């Protein structure tokens, strides 16, 4: 949406600003608490493995992946992949991030409803993210192809829905992580506060993604309305 320039692009400026702020907050919190080490010497791998085992998820593997904040749970392969700064590190940030990813694995295992919906709409979301905007722009360029505008907007609605559903999924995974880390005594209260700050900052990036997708949808609707007028 950023490469198509007209007056409606101003709508996207708040989303860009919020996104940059969210990214800065994540990097700041992660950088700070990556230097704070937990008293138990627990690594990110240790935290994720214990949470998985406590929930009977012995079949979920944990692998190391390169990069920073590239941590994720892959439900297709049933693998948690932890980044270099998390896998074998004993920082508060590492334990918090690893516990969050383990929380996603638990969500899938327990059939957490929002994650079921998100998984179900992934195919149409992938289609929408790649085709929605081009279809709208082609429809705007050729009056005989107005139907493409409608199709593109409907596809982009799926992208927005995916982003919205992602919010409770991510917040729940973080909530599960903090609850387990507290109840199991893996982190002290002070350490837990640091882990929570890292996860809260990370959650804001998803809030920013929702805002961005909604404003992009609004822009598509405005472009469509301008064409019809």
Q: Determine the Cα angle at 130 with ends 227 and 164, to 5°.
A: 85
Indicate if 54 belongs to the active site. Answer: no
What is the bridge-based pairing of β-strands 79-83 and 61-65?
parallel
Instruction: Answer for the pair 44, 195: CB distance below 8 angstroms, yes or no.
Output: no
Q: Catalytic: which of 63, 101, 170, 191? A: 101
DSSP secondary structure string for all residues of the chain: -TTS-SGGGGGGHHHHHHHHHHHHHHHHHHHHHTS-B-TT---HHHHHHHHHHHTT-TT-EEEEE-SSS--EEETTTTEEEEEHHHHT--BHHHHHHHHHHHHHHHHHHHT-HHHHHHHHHHHHHHHHHHHHHHHHHHHHH-GGGTHHHHHHHHHHHHHHHHHHHHHHHHHHHHHHHHHHHHHTTSS-HHHHHHHHHHHHHHHHHHHHHHHHHHHHHHHHHHHHHHHH-
Spatial separation of the C-alpha atoms in residues 2 and 186, rounded to whole Å? 44
Hey, which residues are catalytic here? 101
């Amino acid at each position: 949406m950023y490469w198509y320039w007209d007056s409606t692009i101003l709508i996207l400026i708040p989303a860009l600003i919020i996104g940059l702020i969210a990214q800065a907050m994540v990097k700041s919190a992660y950088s700070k608490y990556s230097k704070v080490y937990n008293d138990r010497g627990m690594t990110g791998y240790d935290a994720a493995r214990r949470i998985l085992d406590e929930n009977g998820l012995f079949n979920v593997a944990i692998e190391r992946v390169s990069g920073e904040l590239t941590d994720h749970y892959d439900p297709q392969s049933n693998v948690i992949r932890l980044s270099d700064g998390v896998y074998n590190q004993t920082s508060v940030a590492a334990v918090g991030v690893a516990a969050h990813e383990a929380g996603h694995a638990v969500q899938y295992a327990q059939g957490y409803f929002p994650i079921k919906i998100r998984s179900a709409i992934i195919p149409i979301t992938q289609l929408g993210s790649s085709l929605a905007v081009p279809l709208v722009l082609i429809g705007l360029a050729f009056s005989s192809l107005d139907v493409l505008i409608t199709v593109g907007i409907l596809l982009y609605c799926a992208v927005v829905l995916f982003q919205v559903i992602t919010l409770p999924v991510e917040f729940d995974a973080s909530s599960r992580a903090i609850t387990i880390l507290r109840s199991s005594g893996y982190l002290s209260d002070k350490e837990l506060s640091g882990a929570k700050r890292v996860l809260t900052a990370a959650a804001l990036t998803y809030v920013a993604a929702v805002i961005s997708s909604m404003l992009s949808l609004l822009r598509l609707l405005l472009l469509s309305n301008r064409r019809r007028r």
